[in-house]
Structure 1
Amino acid sequence: MTVTILGYAAQSAKAPLAPYQFERRDPREDDVVIDILYCGVCHSDLHQARDDWGFSQYPVVPGHEIVGRVSSVGGKVSKFKPGDLVGVGCMVDSCRECSPCQSGLEQYCEEGCIQTYNGVDRHDHRPTYGGYSRSITCTQDFVLRIPESLDAKAVAPLLCAGITTWSPLIRWGVTKGTKVAVIGLGGLGHMALKLAHALEAEVTLFTRSPGKEADARRLGAHHVVLSTDSQQMEAVKGEFDLIIDTVPYAHDINPYMPALTLDGTLVFVGLLGDIDPTLNTLPMIMGRRSVSGSCIGGIEETQQMLDFCGEHNITSDIEMIRMDEINDAYERLLKSDVKYRFVIDIGTLQA
């Protein structure tokens, strides 16, 4: 049995998103059915809608920054009840049995976690469809509780941009006094600044744009360094315990490596692909510096992040859009013309 849902989908890499009716499964015993209120717009939504990564299966209903209220639950659901404010992030299932899953790191599932959209359900082998739609059905173990104290629409981007930057901050032990730098001020970068600041780190933004200093300081940066200014870069040599690189396209990271302290780490959270130009290993060897990467976060740490945001009143800076404005929003995304995340009001979704 299934239920027909209205959403917005891309039918091909060249097609604009448009209204699309599709089927959601009838709830299983451990399922939560969620009426979607808001869905954030991630850069990866655009990539998958346009098959930039080469594995899109059409039609694609994007959206993995989902906030809504529980409308019903399966007979074995114990964690949620109708009316609860909840979220669904980038994944809706995993094998639950491998070492990463058993360690609460479902995003690294050895069988591959099941993406919220453009994935395949482990049980019925049907395609998964995301949050550009009126409702979603998800196992309770991949549903997150949203603090009622937060602005629900501005919470949506926390479910990707928030956890993507929170996870490395926690993994590398950021605490009071840790010196953290962030490369790039976009959807990910602005959340990295807010979260690192709330963790009481000493926070610096690396940027190529002098005009971003005021905003960076408002968002939590204590310092701003122009990466195109050789004197400023020289002044921060050996300075940072952790650099979070949020830039989503190929760029030269060699100038940043000397800015790490002994045993410091630069972590990629934005770039998927080759490092270009080639990385010079000399600063790594001479300072025991590392280059690493990090992918979203597990369910437990995502809930911890949401609870932390609730305690510190942290949300994303957003621009609300109607569902029928999504194609224009994608074009603006390509120009970095948003501060700092689009969120769709799903109440505007019409056939």
Structure 2
Amino acid sequence: MTASNSPRKIVHIDMDAFFAAVEQRDNPQYRNKPIIVGGKPDARGVVATCSYEARKYGIHSAMPSSQAYRLCPQAIFIKPRFEAYKEASSIIRSIFADYTELFEPLSLDEAYLDVSDVSRCQGSATLIAMDIKQRIQQQTGLTASAGVSYNKFLAKIASDIDKPNGLYLISPDQGPSFVEQLPIGKFHGIGKATEKKMHALGIQTGHDLKKLPLALLLQYFGKSGQHYYNIARGIDPRPVNNHRPSKSVGVETTFQHDLADRDIIMRQLLMLFNKALKKLVGKQLTAHTVTIKIKYQNFVQITRSRTLPTAITDASGLEPIFAELLKDTDIGVKKVRLLGVTLSSLQKPTLQAYRQLDLFN
């Protein structure tokens, strides 16, 4: 609630296929064609993002480029141009700042805005979102989708409903019933592993989740249980935070089938690293420390780290470092159920580091 005890007005702006859209904007020969921004299909690259023409073939972010090529051999693979993406992102953020200081960038291509106290556009969050979308298109030639609601959780979900170039409102009156009918797999923040665990407990929708008492949710999901209890009721008190110093950036994944093959584990670590580095680029930071996290089949968990003298700006040279870190583990002896990669010792990059930033050499 705001100071006036009325519901907050939260807008989530999410650029449509951002990297691919910039490429299609800047290169007319790419327009209306399946574009994949990321690694080459003959390397260990992954898809950073792809155009909507490519998505029709089932291609999505973080997919191995080799798999994307098999799904769409005629796709055009493009090396990322982060300077162009950062330039467009800077323009977009300056537009946000015209409306409110309370905006929270999540990456180069998305952000939350708290417009509760904004008087422009008659104080209407929906009209503000429309205005922002129009200005983004006018000033960058790119389209954005917007979600409007009374909290971050629902605004985030709303922005994904009518993509691309969409705008969707979930009002305070609609929120609880909207969440009740929402499949658990559509809940932002609930990944595949948690979704599978919820399905095993008979939780298929928000309505099913809402029926579980808080004590049981805490028992099954630890501290996340409180968050699940709240969002099942359309409640999300998290503020839009425009001052969030990052201490680390990490990603992890739990596998449906435990891994034993060392080469597969190495490929998974490199894919996770690429995803973590993409997040880091979005925050305009570099890292000096890389940490791998391993959870074995028996749920024993370990971490191994290496701090480098120079900023980590791409995947080159990481494979031997990962190989060295894996030596001091039970890889090859015990199967692995979870892997994670975290980048830390963060700082603002030098100009030289900016030029070197490239996820897919």
Q: TM-score scaled by structure 1? A: 0.25
Structure ID, larger Rg: 2
* Higher RCO (Cα < 8 Å, 6 or more apart): 1
- TM-score scaled by structure 2? 0.25
Larger % of helix: which? Answer: 2
Which structure: greater strand fraction? Answer: 1
